[in-house]
Structure 1
Amino acid sequence: MRVHVADHPLVTHKLSVLRDRATQAPAFRELVAELVALLSYEATRDMRVTEVEVETPVATTTGVKISEPLPLAVPIIRAGLGMLDGFVKIVPACEVGFVGIVRDETTLQPQTYAKRLPEDLSNRQCFVLDPMLATGGSLSATVQFLFDAGASDVTAICLVAAPEGVQRMNRDFGDKNVTIVLGALDESLNDDGYIVPGLGDAGDRLYGTAE
C-alpha cells in the first residue's frame, strides 16, 4: 500500500477554506470539486493508456488514450457524491459505481445499505472517492468489495485523513495494490471518531444539513 499526501499551495489553501466553519454549503461544494480535480492529477498518474496515432494539422504523431477496460469511479454515498463531479471533469471517460455505507455512531462500525458495482471488475483500475478517512471502516469495506469483484488495483482519494484510518488501511491492505491520495494527514481522531482538526461532517457541510 502507498500513501501520497499532496504538497501543493493550492491544495493547502483550498483545504484551509474548507476547514473554516464559516464556509457555507455552496462554497464548500465548489471547493470540494476543485480539490478533487487537483488530487485526481496525482491519483491518475499511473492510469493505463494505449498508444494511438494522431493526425495534427501539421504531421502525424503518437499520442495515448485511456485503456480499456475503462477506469471505475466509486463514490461512497453520501459524502463521496460531492467529489464525483471533480473527478469526472478530469476523467470523463470513466464509468461510475456506487457504494452506500453509514457509520454506526455508537460502535463506529460501517453498515452497507446500497451497492451498485459491475459484477466483474477483472483488470479494472478503480478510484474510490471518500472525503474523510477517519476510522477507515467505510473505505476498507469498499476497497474489499472491489478486490472481491476482481479489481487489479484501487486508488482512494480523500480530502483529509487521520493516522488511525491510514493504519487501518495498511493493516487490511498492506500487501495489496492500493494507493491513498490525501489532501492532508491530520493529527488524530477524537473520542467520537471525528478527525481533528478535520473539517466537520463532510456530508452535512456539502448538503447544508449541518446544525
Structure 2
Amino acid sequence: MQIHNLSETPSILNTFISEIRDKVIQNDSMRFRRNIERIGEILGYELSKSLSFEAHNVSTPLGIANTTMHKNDIVLCSILRAGVPLHNGLLNYFDAAENAFISAYRQHKHNPESFEIVVEYLACPSIEGKTLILADPMLATGQSMVATFEALKPFGTPKEIHLVSVIGAQKGVDYVAKAFNAETHLWIAAIDDTLNDKGYIIPGLGDAGDLAFGIKLQQ
C-alpha cells in the first residue's frame, strides 16, 4: 500500500489538525465539523494528483482554453456517523462523484477491551471498474476500514482504491496495509504512534462522532 502522510510536510493542514485535537476548541462542535471538512478538502486535493487526466477544451467568451480534467468515475463511501464531515469535504472537490454510506460500529460483547466490527446499513451504487474512495476519519485498529471494504465487495471490483483518514494509529495503518493490495493509496493527515488497550488512538482527539454531532445514547 502507498501511504501519503501529509503531516510530514508542514502546511496549513497542521493548523486544522491542531484545532481538532485541542480539547478547548473541541467545545465548538460546528468548528470541529468545519475543520474536519477542510481537512477532507486538502486530502481530496492531494488525492486528485494521482488520478487519470485527459485533454479538455473550454470555450471562453474570447476563445478556446486548453486544459486537462480527471476522467475517473468516482464512488465516495463514508462510514457513518463520524465520516459525514469528511465526506462533505471530499465531495466539495469531487462534486460529480457517486456516493455510498455504511454504518460500522464496535460491538463489545463480554470484555470492554475487545470488540468486533458490526456492519448494518449500507447504500452503494456499483463500484465495478470505478475509483473507490473509502473515508473514515479515525483509523484506529483499521478493522472498520477492512470490514467496510468486505461489505462493498458484492457491488463490484473497483479499478483503484483510495483510503482517506484524518488521524490514524501506526498499528491501524499497518493493519490496512496488509489487508489491501500494493496499489491501494492511503491519504492521511496525521499518524500517531500509540493505540491503547481499548483501541483508541493516543494522543488522537477523542470520539470524532461525539465531537461532531453530540454524545450518542448508550445502550
Asked if these proteins are the same fold (TM beyond 0.5), I'd say yes
Q: Percent identity?
A: 26
Aligned match of 2:129? 123
The yes-or-no answer on 1:155 pairing with 2:162 is yes
The yes-or-no answer on 1:138 pairing with 2:144 is yes
The alpha-carbon deviation at position 176 of structure 1 amounts to 4.1
Match of 1:71 among 71, 74, 83: 74
Aligned match of 1:109? 116
Aligned match of 2:43? 39
The alpha-carbon deviation at position 60 of structure 1 amounts to 2.2
* Partners of 2:150 and 2:48 in 1: CA distance: 20
RMSD: 1.9
Structure 2: runs of 5 or more not aligned: none
Q: What is the identity, as a one-letter code, of the residue corresponding to 2:23?
A: R
Deviations 1:155-179 (A, max 9, x none): 1111100011011111111x34211
The alpha-carbon deviation at position 210 of structure 1 amounts to 7.4
Q: What is the identity, as a one-letter code, of the residue corresponding to 2:31?
A: A
Q: What is the identity, as a one-letter code, of the residue corresponding to 1:34?
A: R
TM-score, length basis structure 2: 0.88
Residues 1-211 of structure 1 mapped to structure 2, 5 A cutoff: 1-6=1-6, 7-22=9-24, 23-24=26-27, 25-67=29-71, 70-105=73-108, 106=112, 107-118=114-125, 120-146=126-152, 149-173=156-180, 175-209=181-215
The alpha-carbon deviation at position 115 of structure 1 amounts to 1.2
TM-score, length basis structure 1: 0.91
- Indicate conservation of the 8 Å contact 1:29/1:82, yes or no: yes
Moved more, 142-151 or 17-26: 142-151
- Indicate conservation of the 8 Å contact 1:40/1:90, yes or no: yes
Does the C-alpha gap of structure 1 residues 48 and 144 become closer, same or farther in structure 2, counting only changes over 3 Å? farther
Deviations 1:58-117 (A, max 9, x none): 33233233425x201101111111212111111111111111101124433211011111
* Partners of 1:179 and 1:91 in 2: CA distance: 17
- Indicate conservation of the 8 Å contact 2:119/2:148, yes or no: no
Following TM superposition, the consecutive aligned residue runs of length 4 or more in structure 1 with deviations greater than 4 angstroms are none
* Partners of 2:40 and 2:4 in 1: CA distance: 14
Q: What is the identity, as a one-letter code, of the residue corresponding to 1:16?
A: S
Q: What is the identity, as a one-letter code, of the residue corresponding to 1:12?
A: N
* Partners of 1:131 and 1:37 in 2: CA distance: 13
Task: Name the count of aligned residue pairs.
Answer: 208
Q: What is the identity, as a one-letter code, of the residue corresponding to 1:151?
A: P
Q: What is the identity, as a one-letter code, of the residue corresponding to 1:157?
A: V
Structure 1: runs of 5 or more not aligned: none
* Partners of 1:171 and 1:109 in 2: CA distance: 19
Q: What is the identity, as a one-letter code, of the residue corresponding to 2:159?
A: S
